[in-house]
Amino acid sequence: MLALRGQRILSKPKLLALRKYAQVALPEENEYTDTPVYPDIQDASLQARKLRERESVYANIRNLNTVEEKQIGLNMPRYYGWPCVQFKEDHIMYNAMPLVQYYTRTYFKTTDKLPEHYNQFSEIASSIVNEIKSLIEDCIVIENEGLKRNPLTDESKEGLQQKEDSLSKNIVRQINRIIINNIADKVPHILSSQVDYDPKHEAFWFMGGTDVPAKVVNWRKQFAWLKDRLHEPIDRPIQYTGSPILTIRNHLPLKPFIPYNEAENPEFKVEKFTYVPESVGYGVTFRHGTNIPGFWPGDLDEFGLLSYHKRGHILKRNEHFGTLDNLEALHCQAMKASFGWLLAQANYQGFTTYNDITYPLTTQTVITNGHLISFYAYQLNTITMNRDKIENNPKHNICFGTKPFLLYEKLENGKVMGLNEDVLKMLVQFYLNAPEEREHELKPYLGKEEQVIADIEDDNKRCWLESRYKHLMSNTPRHNLLPEVYHWEKIYKIQHKTRFFEAKRRPFELGINPFKRRLDDHLPSYIPKVLRPYPRSKKKFETTYYPKV
């Protein structure tokens, strides 16, 4: 009776809303198939569910249309930034080679000459060297002896580094000018290339397959349910920062040195390095992950050809490290710098640390102080090293490197003695290596219409994304800093619960972990009443356009 009465009271729309489990009869009569089709059975274990969650994030980032949105997407989980391992170009610790090789997944090959690929430019290079020889000699003499500078430096290690870096910067700019002026009418790609002075190079990626830091293990120890999962692998965010003296870039990519399928050759396998990076001396700071190859997305010349780097940091190193480790430090610098620059370029093509590149990218790196000069040729084959991919990723990157050569013997009576023409030839060969049009698609993961946010037609969305992206990439500190835990609170409230009777108001008492705050976890900017659309609008806050990741 009661139920009947109830039914009569409810109106028709409400009834419709209540019938959640009701199904409309299928219009098709053929609802049965000959063989039963079942949905896939999914693994219901915790690890499998977490993996599916992560994979959906990877897919969401891949499906985003523009470069900038992908970059914001990488940073979405952290409001105060990722705890990034600081991979600086000019800060190389003792015995860092195994770590750098593993973290950049690079097979390093020492050679005395450039890879075979460069032999085709040998003849032209020789003739060019003959033409520019005297000019290079002049520039070396003038920069070393002809100019009087007042460097504001002392004789300390830092002072020596600054002095050498400033000298090498001047020499490199001159040498680049001389070579470019000479070959601009001989090879077509130089005229269409751009030269950047002191660009900013930054790259961000996730590294799996390393030991879990002690801090994380200790944190997990306090929870009973994490007892068996103390050493469950985590991703370490890595941030490379560097600043070359000069780079040259073009709208076409360089040819690969070795075929792409060679990248899976087990010969190029890199030894595992699982020790925590802190044990080698690489520290951690909180910052947003940034990928910047020296220009902003939308620039047409987006493939690097050549970059010059300083080597003054070698002077600053501890003298106990020895010459052999100093040589390795140069190799490390080259691997870091080449990988970092190429990774940032790959990010501008729509790939991220979660979605691997589909074709190889190459670059040429020169490390010099104006007297010593070493050459590196780098081929990027893979960029996914996160914990889900590291174990079964067969691809490796390859770096060919030489030892430092002397560009000239010495300076005497205002003259260069013994200019090494072979070395100069190698440098010219780097310039002659022409980029080439690729036959495959370069940006498979970017949208067809929208590839950068400048392509977005909606004014509000475009402007909002632009300012958000630039602000994120600038890594300026947040206006509201992290909530601080005072030392007395740590002792008397967290470690020992001696003040349990007090009202719980602080974030750590309310179970809030500020480091886990998401990027979009904030109030959007307020629209003042006078600026709201006429006649009446209840919309108090502006729309945000964070990518859904």
Nearer to other proteins, 217 or 482 (CB): 217
The nearest distance, CB 324 to other proteins, in angstroms, is 9
The contacts of residue 103 (CB under 8 Å, 6+ apart) are 87, 207, 238, 273, 277, 385
The nearest distance, CB 100 to other proteins, in angstroms, is 14
**Reading across the β-sheet that carries 82-88, which strands appear in turn?**
284-287, 82-88, 236-242, 201-207, 292-293
| Binding of other proteins by 327 (CB under 8 A) | no
**Residue type present at position 159:** G
Total chain residues near other proteins (CB under 8 A): 22
Binding to other proteins in span 279-308, by CB under 8 A? 279-281
Q: Which stretch binds other proteins (CB under 8 A): 103-111, 276-284, 337-345, 365-373?
A: 276-284
Nearer to other proteins, 487 or 538 (CB): 487
The nearest distance, CB 317 to other proteins, in angstroms, is 10
The nearest distance, CB 284 to other proteins, in angstroms, is 14
Nearer to other proteins, 43 or 278 (CB): 278
Nearest Cα to Cα of residue 275 among 105, 409, 108, 103? 103
The nearest distance, CB 327 to other proteins, in angstroms, is 13
Pattern 197-236, binding to other proteins, x per CB under 8 A?
--------------xxxx--x-------------------
The nearest distance, CB 500 to other proteins, in angstroms, is 13
CB 390 within 8 A of CB 123: no
Give Cα 497 to chain centroid, integer Å: 43
For the beta carbon of residue 219, count every other beta carbon within 10 angstroms.
13
Nearer to other proteins, 211 or 421 (CB): 211
For the beta carbon of residue 411, count every other beta carbon within 10 angstroms.
15
Can you tell me which of 42, 150, 476, 495 binds other proteins, judged by CB under 8 A? Answer: 495
The nearest distance, CB 281 to other proteins, in angstroms, is 7
Give Cα 180 to chain centroid, integer Å: 29
Q: At what angle do helices 67-75 and 322-348 cross, to 10 degrees?
A: 120
| Binding of other proteins by 320 (CB under 8 A) | yes
Binding to other proteins in span 92-121, by CB under 8 A? 94-95
| Binding of other proteins by 196 (CB under 8 A) | no
Distance, CA of 281 to CA of 436 (rounded, Å): 41
Structure tokens at 455: 């392509």
Binding to other proteins in span 113-172, by CB under 8 A? none
The nearest distance, CB 388 to other proteins, in angstroms, is 22
C-alpha distances (whole Å) from 174 to each of 104, 140, 167, 177 are 32, 9, 11, 5
Can you tell me which of 179, 276, 337, 423 binds other proteins, judged by CB under 8 A? Answer: 276
Distance, CA of 67 to CA of 447 (rounded, Å): 9
Distance, CA of 268 to CA of 397 (rounded, Å): 8
Nearer to other proteins, 8 or 487 (CB): 487
CB 369 within 8 A of CB 310: yes
Distance, CA of 341 to CA of 337 (rounded, Å): 6
Footprint of other proteins (CB under 8 A) = 94-95, 211-214, 217, 274-276, 279-281, 318, 320-321, 325, 491-492, 495-496, 498
